Amino acid sequence: MVYHNGKIEPAVVLGHGVVRFIRTGGVAFGKGDGMAVTMDVAVVELLCSRLCHDLVSPIGAINNGIELIEETGPGDAGEALDLIADSADAAAKRLKLFRLAFGAAGAQETLSPADARAVLEGWFRSGRVALHWAATSPRPPARGLLKLVMLAALLLEEALPRGGSIRVQDAESGFLLLGEGSGAAFRPEVRVALADQPGAEELTARAVVSHFAARLATHYSLSVSLHEDGQGHVSVRIG
């Protein structure tokens, strides 16, 4: 139990001054000395479903490789072993990004821009979208800022359906991520979700990451804005 906003509330202390308040119908997260930001349980469920969906493909491919070895025998396992290795690598890259972008590890003060860059480069390597990290500011990023950079990269990737490039560069008090590619555009529901407007029943799996980014920005007293010009350019500004 924690005394918060003039009353005793059930809570779980996570350490480093972070408290998770337990409330009916929602999950809240926040610093013990600040305002908790609440997310509906249905949103949390949708977010978990989205992450599991993104992990199903590589993990399922590992299982397929094992079944192939069982059918053909170890003597002809070369192709199956390649499939398993590639799929395990893909799963590991996704887990590393999810751990930082969605988990508590991404908010630790020890997380550096170099860490975020390495994880994102691993995510985009050999994909349809190329990542170019041009940010060089020596100043320590605000808490939660790098989490939002990683989430912004995911939003830009979805806004580039035919592939393209993402450039991460310094901006006043934050970062600017620039996406370029044929047909680049944000889905309308992603824009609405980032504005923190829809109810839980209106969110889709494609928009839940945007909604999560909006809630994190509120929690860390940061801002996130989307821009597009209709000519193959999209961007996300964080600060």
Cα separations (Å) of 145 from 18, 140, 185, 208?
17, 10, 23, 19
What six digits make up the tokens of 147? Answer: 């989490």
Q: Where are the beta strands (DSSP E) in 127-190?
A: 129-133, 164-171, 174-180
User: 3-class DSSP state for residue 183?
Assistant: coil
Report the residue count for the chain.
239
Contact 239, 171 (CB under 8 A): yes
pTM, two decimals, is: 0.81
Query: Can you tell me which residue has the tokens 């992450």?
Result: 51
Position 71 scores a pLDDT of 86
Architecture label for domain 39-238: 2-Layer Sandwich (3.30)
pLDDT tens digits for 17-33? 443 433 434 444 444 33
Domain layout of the chain by residue ranges? 2-35, 39-238
Measure CA 178 to chain center: 17
Distance CA 136, CA 134 (A): 6
Residues of the chain with pLDDT under 50: 1-35
Q: What's the pLDDT at 11?
A: 43
Dist. CA 155–CA 211, nearest whole Å: 11
Backbone angles phi, psi at 122, to 5 degrees: -65, -40
